[in-house]
Amino acid sequence: MKAQTVEGRKVARPKLLATIVLAVVLAAASTYLYLNTQSTPRQHLIISTTTSLYETGFLDVLKVEFERRYPAINVSFISQGTGLAIQTAMRGDADMILVHDAARELQFLKDGYGVNRKIVAYNFFIIVGPKDDPVKIKGLSPLDAFKKIQQAGENKTATWVSRGDDSGTHSKEKSLWKLAGFDAANLRKSSWYLEAGGSMTMALKMADEKGAYTLSDIATYLNNFSKKNIQLEIVVEERGRTMLNVYSAIANNPKKTEVSKSNFDASMKLIKFLASTEGQDLLDKFGREQFGKPIFNPYIKNLKSGSDPEMVKTIQELAYFDGMECPPQYRYQDEGLY
């Protein structure tokens, strides 16, 4: 049998032929797999969420880790105040919401737009103001601070900046004014009461420029302060029910006509990821290196560990509905979530 020389070596013709055939088969298989992969479209998951989660950079971290686990899903975020975030989802322009306003979350569920609410994190609101604290509210309770700011405002010795954008923070501010004995609708007519009409960062920068006080979530404040965007300092800080800030994730209800085309499957994967050990650890670690503490406390992790039973009790009192984070009538295909 004749042999053929290949790069200085003698190879039997049948062996050479088998090698060529194998190479052709492998090349064809690789081409098929490449074309098949390229032709399979990635799913899109659109999350309507708050500016506080977006502006801190946490959502960038969440996107990377979630897409690493689910490479077939591409995550996008629409960042707005909670009111607008919920409206976006109700129009079907987002698949789920990640927000912080329990009252409006309940209404979203009651109106049939949302299912499977899951509380995933919490932190606290703070009052920030000029370094010299002209009204001298440092160390006061939140409600006493609001009373003093109002009095100083009427005396033209203080300025207040409100988000004024129907966000979760704006809702919290209005509720605090009410508890302090004032109606924000009337206060906004006063010259000392200004409205930013936008994100938390916008309100913080406006307050900084005006030498004013404002209400902020702790995460967005720390993010802006560390970047030297503002010089405002924390003047009132209280880890309790008055200043509690709870974040929840809710999937659009696939049985609701207006949002029936939402990506329910991907939404549930995201909610379960946030509730998982990996997702809760992600929240727990975020901010620790930069600020020495997490800026979003992982609720489920703390619930399971029993490390702060009083805070868990407070969250359940203020952010649960009928004793549950999501009553059974607002659940749908929620296997393993509760």
How far does CA 203 lie from the centroid of its chain? 18
This prediction has a pTM of 0.85
Instruction: Please check whether residues 153 and 114 belong to one and the same domain.
Output: no
Residues 115 and 192 in one domain: no
Q: Which domain holds residue 308?
A: 43-123+246-330
Residue that terminates a domain, selected from 242, 263, 287: 242
**Residue 306: Cβ-neighbour burial (10 angstroms; 0-12, 13-18, 19+):** exposed
Same domain, 269 and 319: yes
pLDDT of residue 274: 98
**What is the arithmetic mean of pLDDT over 75-85?**
93
- Whether residues 223 and 277 fall in one domain: no
Query: How much is the average pLDDT of 74-92?
Result: 95
Q: Does residue 306 sit within a domain?
A: yes
Question: Which is more confidently placed, 283 or 166?
Answer: 283
23, part of any domain: no
Mark whether 170 and 218 lie in a shared domain. yes
Give pLDDT, residue 10.
46
Residue pLDDT, tens place only, 42-75: 899 999 999 889 889 999 999 999 999 999 999 9
Domain count, the chain: 2
Q: Which CATH number characterizes residue 283's domain? A: 3.40.190.10
Q: Which of 242, 265, 298 is the last residue of a domain?
A: 242
Per-residue pLDDT tens over the stretch 214-236: 999 999 999 999 999 999 999 99
Cα-Cα end-to-end distance for the chain = 73
**Contact (Cβ atoms closer than 8 angstroms) between residue 315 and residue 309:** no
Check residue 18 and give its pLDDT: 46
- Domain assignment present for 20: no
**Model confidence band, residue 25 (pLDDT cutoffs 50, 70, 90):** very low
pLDDT band per the 50, 70, 90 thresholds, residue 146 = very high
Q: Residue 308: pLDDT band by 50, 70, 90 thresholds?
A: very high
Predicted local confidence at residue 213, as pLDDT: 98
Mean pLDDT of the chain: 90
Please state whether beta strands 114-129 and 96-99 pair in parallel, antiparallel, or not at all (unpaired): unpaired
Question: By percentage, how much of the chain surpasses pLDDT 90?
Answer: 83
Q: Which of 1-15, 209-223, 273-287 shows the lowest per-residue confidence on average (mean pLDDT)?
A: 1-15
pLDDT on residue 40: 56
Model confidence band, residue 118 (pLDDT cutoffs 50, 70, 90) = very high
Whether residues 250 and 319 fall in one domain: yes
State whether 268 and 256 are in the same domain. Answer: yes
65 and 152 assigned to the same domain: no
Q: What band does 29 get if pLDDT is binned at 50, 70 and 90? A: very low
- Do 48 and 143 reside in the same domain of the chain? no
pLDDT, position 42: 83
Final residue of a structural domain among 196, 226, 242: 242
DSSP three-state, residue 193: strand
The pLDDT value recorded for residue 33 is: 43
CA atoms within 13 Å, Cβ hemisphere of 149: 35
Q: Contact 55/218 with Cβ under 8 angstroms?
A: no
Amino acid, res. 86:
I
pLDDT at res. 17: 47
Confidence of residue 143 (pLDDT cuts 50, 70, 90): very high
Whether residue 252 sits in one domain with residue 273: yes
Higher pLDDT, 42 or 92: 92
